[in-house]
Amino acid sequence: MTRPSPPSGSEKTGPDAFALLHRGVQRWVWERRWTSLRPIQEQAIRPIIGGDTDVLLAAATAGGKTEAVFLPVCSVLARDAEHGESTGIQAVCLSPLKALINDQHTRLTDLCARIGIPVTAWHGDIGVIQKDRLREEPSGILLITPESLEAMFVTRGSTVARLFADLRYIVVDELHAFLGTARGAQLRSLMHRLERAAGHRAARIGLSATLADLRAAAEFLRPGEGDRVTILEDRGAGKQLLLQVRGYVADLREDAEGGACDAATGHLYQVVRTGHNMVFVNSRAEAESCAAALSEFAEQDRIPNPFTPHHGSLSAELRAHAEQRLKNRSAPATIVCTATLELGIDVGWVDTVVQLGTPPTVAGLRQRLGRSGRGSAPAKLYVYITEQSLPETPVERLRLDLVQTVAMVELLLRRWCEPPDLETPHLSTLVQQILSVLAQHGGASALRLYRELCADGAFPGVDEQTFADLLRALGAHGIVTQERSGLLLPGKVGETLLNHYSFYSAFDTVEEYTIATVDGDMGTMPISPAVDTGALLAFGGRSWQVVEVKPAERRVLVVPARGGGVPPGFAGVPVPVSDGVRQHMREVYLGTDVPRYLDEAAAILLEEGRMAFREIGLADLHVHEYDGETLLFPWRGDRVVETICHLLRWVGIKAAHAGALVTVPDVPPERLRGAVSRLVKAGPPDPVDLAGMVADKRRHKYDHYLGEELLSRSYAAQALDVPGAMRFLEQLSG
């Protein structure tokens, strides 16, 4: 048998890029029978092997990003091992999901075994023996979640410097999942603290398939030095896309049975009853109810049930079983899932991707679409949208869900996605990091904390005065305490927080009950509202009846049942809509073309929405009076819409945020315009003062420890867009 030739180089990297890889890594590539490396893989070799630059890789899902990073990383580690230079963990890969870590561990094990490099997966489901082995002999590659790394700093802070003494690389998988979030602020802080513990700078490498602003992402990866990050982007020629948006109508009002899934299930079943498919829904409730409805069709047809739910409340074993079914090509399999499978877990080749309901974001839709069309096959996407069957109100007549979906698909086709908000100070996460650093070092001075976390760290937007105010607020709540020497230590409340398992996450974790049968645990569910004995649940793709609730043990015992319901708390939380999407919705309303990807029913719904838009007068105005209410249509994102509501309340007008619009009861348009004109003439209030009138400003985990003034500052920075709201109000007053 003739050995395949080494992959050739690209113009950017030179013909010898492949030759830079370690011989054992080259041999592994040859054994895979790869005839060439992908462009992004070739481009990444030189800067990553150099080890002296940060790198951001952007390529489509299944675009070879993992190999692009670890072929050169493993080459460096293999050469270090040959020269006996390894004294600790050399590469840390931070991933947002345990399942991603498990998947990467499987993918890297063969390569790393070939060259003698240990690769260790580390998260809550990994056994103690494996973790102890790494602590005793730290080396190779560590795959870990931010929460597990946080736990390492808190519980074994004195050992961190030894573990990471030889750290060369910090890799962030699915970088977009962290941008602009509290968890992202935690991640940036942990990367900085890793380098401080190691005593030297490590090359940071970010991977993503969905980035709106590569330069902003580079700045996130290396704060203050984003312009020095090497950006490698594989745009490619793009795949053929087979796309259809299907419209349905049903009675969706609160007192009606059924809903979006019920209206579309018949056609959906025909699409996904064969082959290997993924149906994405927007909540755990929909995942359970849709999987159950599809399973009933399979039972009626007397075929083996190919449908399995997949969401974060199911046990790891049930999720792994669903993923394995999708990988197995010998039988049809369809997973009905939430965002748990939006990220890059390898589930094999997928025939069709389905989005049931309005996509949460354009970025999320792009991630989901990336699951389909592996190899030369076209990507297939169905989107099912259900609107009210007998629209009565102007809002129902506008067919907002269908129009929003069209706007998002159009933006997707233009390769646009939502830009992240990287300016938020994330004071709540800073509280967590203060406690974590105190635990790591056994205490610290205020100056050391400020330098490590703010001046030189991941919270550069926090000045000395704000930091001092924060420490005083934490002292008042017993989070920290100060000795006469000036040393800061965790206070009584801080110790309690540190000793609870939920401390390691930067986001709120809801207390949940374990759902168990006589055969074992199936997963967890929120405990509020409570579940009573006799209640019916849909869970894990089957129906169950509650036979016993054990509050002390946080367990719900169930037995098989027919019929079923959905566990409380599974409804999900709406994702904020961006400015770009809402502004493009208005363009869709003003347009006349009918996208070819709409089926006949969806095309009719679009025309109905456009007709209502014209009849209401929204082509020229942004205000409409209906049934004693004045409705405002800013066509801006949720942050601006919410700020408009607060500004109207500031001048004494009751207003409510209702999706794409603002409702103002009992105030006619002319009176509203007069009040808005006075507000515009007087000028906007200070955002912090405006935030001060908001009753509940808590948005993140530790916000209730900030104190009123800091909480108002934090809320103003995170939730308000006063300039954007004022631009709309100026337009309205004119």
Domain span at residue 518 reads 512-560
Average the pLDDT over each of 100-104, 172-176, 279-283, 615-619 and give the range with the smallest value.
100-104
Distance of CA 163 to the CA centre of its chain: 30
Whether residue 365 lies inside any domain: the answer is yes
Same domain, 39 and 128: yes
Q: Which pLDDT tens digit goes with each residue over 479-502?
A: 999 999 999 999 999 999 999 989
Same domain, 629 and 671: yes
In this structure, the chain runs to a length of 734
Same domain, 213 and 262: no
d(CA 387, CA 250) in angstroms, rounded, equals: 6
List the Cα angle 544/545/546 in 5-degree steps.
120
Buried b (16+ CB within 10 A) or exposed e, 245-264: bbbbbbebeeeeeebbbbbb
Buried b (16+ CB within 10 A) or exposed e, 170-207: bbbbbbbbbbbbbbbbbbbbbbbbbbbbbeeebbbbbb
Mean of pLDDT values over 464-487: 96
Nearest alpha-carbon partner for 535 in 524, 519, 547, 551: 547
Does residue 94 have a pLDDT over 70? Answer: yes
Same domain, 111 and 219: yes
Same domain, 160 and 96: yes
Whether residue 584 lies inside any domain: the answer is no
Residue 349's pLDDT is 75
Residue 320's pLDDT is 84
Nearest alpha-carbon partner for 339 in 367, 374, 362: 367
Q: Which pLDDT tens digit goes with each residue over 286-295?
A: 898 899 999 9
Could you write out the DSSP letters of every residue in 490-519?
E-HHHHHHHTSGGGGSSS----EEEEEETT
The residue from 180, 202, 234 where one domain ends is 234
Residue 315's pLDDT is 83
Binning pLDDT at 50, 70 and 90, where does residue 514 land?
A: confident
Same domain, 378 and 319: yes
Question: Helix, strand, coil shares of the chain as percentages rounded to 5?
Answer: 45, 20, 35
Two tokens, residue 191 = 């990367």
d(CA 432, CA 187) in angstroms, rounded, equals: 12
How many independent structural domains does the chain possess? 5
Whether residue 597 lies inside any domain: the answer is no
Q: What percent of the chain has a predicted confidence (pLDDT) above 90?
A: 63
Q: How many CA atoms lie within 13 A of 495 on its CB side?
A: 8
Does residue 346 have a pLDDT over 70? Answer: no
Local structure of 167: helix, strand or coil: coil
Q: What percent of the chain has a predicted confidence (pLDDT) above 70?
A: 90
Residue 544's pLDDT is 77
Residue 441's pLDDT is 96
Place of tokens 């969401």: 311
Residue type, 651: V
Whether residue 123 lies inside any domain: the answer is yes
Two tokens, residue 364 = 């999320």
Same domain, 222 and 106: yes
Distance of CA 696 to the CA centre of its chain: 24
Residue 261's pLDDT is 59
Whether residue 263 lies inside any domain: the answer is yes
Residue type, 535: A
d(CA 116, CA 118) in angstroms, rounded, equals: 7
Residue 569's pLDDT is 53
Does residue 62 have a pLDDT over 90? Answer: no
List the Cα angle 434/440/446 in 5-degree steps.
40
Mean of pLDDT values over 306-331: 87
Same domain, 80 and 214: yes
Does residue 343 have a pLDDT over 80? Answer: no
Nearest alpha-carbon partner for 66 in 99, 116, 100: 100
Higher per-residue pLDDT: 266 or 4: 266
Does residue 566 have a pLDDT over 70? Answer: no
Residue 526's pLDDT is 66
Same domain, 363 and 494: no
Does residue 12 have a pLDDT over 80? Answer: no
Does residue 563 have a pLDDT over 70? Answer: no
Average the pLDDT over each of 539-553, 642-656, 660-674 and give the range with the smallest value.
539-553
The residue from 477, 499, 521 where one domain ends is 499
Whether residue 615 lies inside any domain: the answer is no
d(CA 107, CA 61) in angstroms, rounded, equals: 15
Residue 258's pLDDT is 44
Beta bridge partners of 524: 514
d(CA 619, CA 641) in angstroms, rounded, equals: 19
Nearest alpha-carbon partner for 228 in 201, 193, 199: 201
Residue type, 715: Y
CATH of the domain at 380: 3.40.50.300
Cα R_g (the chain), whole angstroms? 27
Same domain, 185 and 42: yes
d(CA 407, CA 539) in angstroms, rounded, equals: 34
Residue 570's pLDDT is 60
Whether residue 507 lies inside any domain: the answer is no
Q: Which pLDDT tens digit goes with each residue over 447-460?
A: 999 999 999 999 98
d(CA 694, CA 640) in angstroms, rounded, equals: 15
Does residue 4 have a pLDDT over 60? Answer: no
Nearest alpha-carbon partner for 457 in 425, 421, 491: 425
Residue 23's pLDDT is 95
Does residue 235 have a pLDDT over 80? Answer: no
The residue from 348, 381, 413 where one domain ends is 413
Distance of CA 554 to the CA centre of its chain: 28
Same domain, 539 and 488: no
Whether residue 702 lies inside any domain: the answer is yes
Mean of pLDDT values over 660-677: 94
Does residue 388 have a pLDDT over 70? Answer: yes
Binning pLDDT at 50, 70 and 90, where does residue 14 land?
A: very low
Does residue 19 have a pLDDT over 60? Answer: yes
Same domain, 229 and 250: no
171 sits in which H/E element = strand 169-172
Q: How many CA atoms lie within 13 A of 97 on its CB side?
A: 19
Mean of pLDDT values over 587-608: 98
Mean of pLDDT values over 624-645: 95
Could you write out the DSSP letters of every residue in 198-217?
HTS--EEEEEES--S-HHHH
